[in-house]
Amino acid sequence: EVQLVESGGGLVKPGGSLRLSCAASGFTFSSYTMTWVRQAPGKGLEWVSSISSVSSYRHYADSVNGRFTISRDNARNSLFLQLNSLRAEDTAVYFCAFELEHDDAFDIWGQGTMVTVSS
């Protein structure tokens, strides 16, 4: 079964850091671009960052560029998002997702991990 499981969320103070993980299973992780999408409480979906299969490109939303870093470890079938200089507006559920069956459409999602930035 194809599965993505996020972890690493929690409560952090403004200015703090957190590292999110996404454990992948059931597919050839190293063949796919992976993506993080977030959703603030009661709000819509926001694409955050994507990384290509061999980390040759990484793209970021303007709202997180310079503060967040996406990475992956293909040997461990894992995707990461390092969150630095956190702000209250980064409070959200963070989902990892990827395009399994169709290019350019996220058909597989994890269950999400909650990040709360508050003093």
Contact between residue 102 and residue 108 where contact means Cβ atoms under 8 Å apart? no
Rg for the chain, CA atoms, rounded: 13
Per-residue binding letters, 79-108, with another protein (x by CB under 8 A): ----------------x-x---xx-xxxx-
Total residue length of the chain: 119
Amino acid at 72: R
| Minimum separation from the CB atom of position 23 to another protein (A) | 15
Quick one: which of 8, 21, 27, 47 contacts another protein (CB under 8 A)?
47
Using CB under 8 A as the binding rule, whether residue 110 contacts another protein is answered as: yes
Quick one: which of 21, 61, 77, 91 contacts another protein (CB under 8 A)?
61
The C-alpha atoms of residue 52 and residue 22 are separated, in whole angstroms, by 15
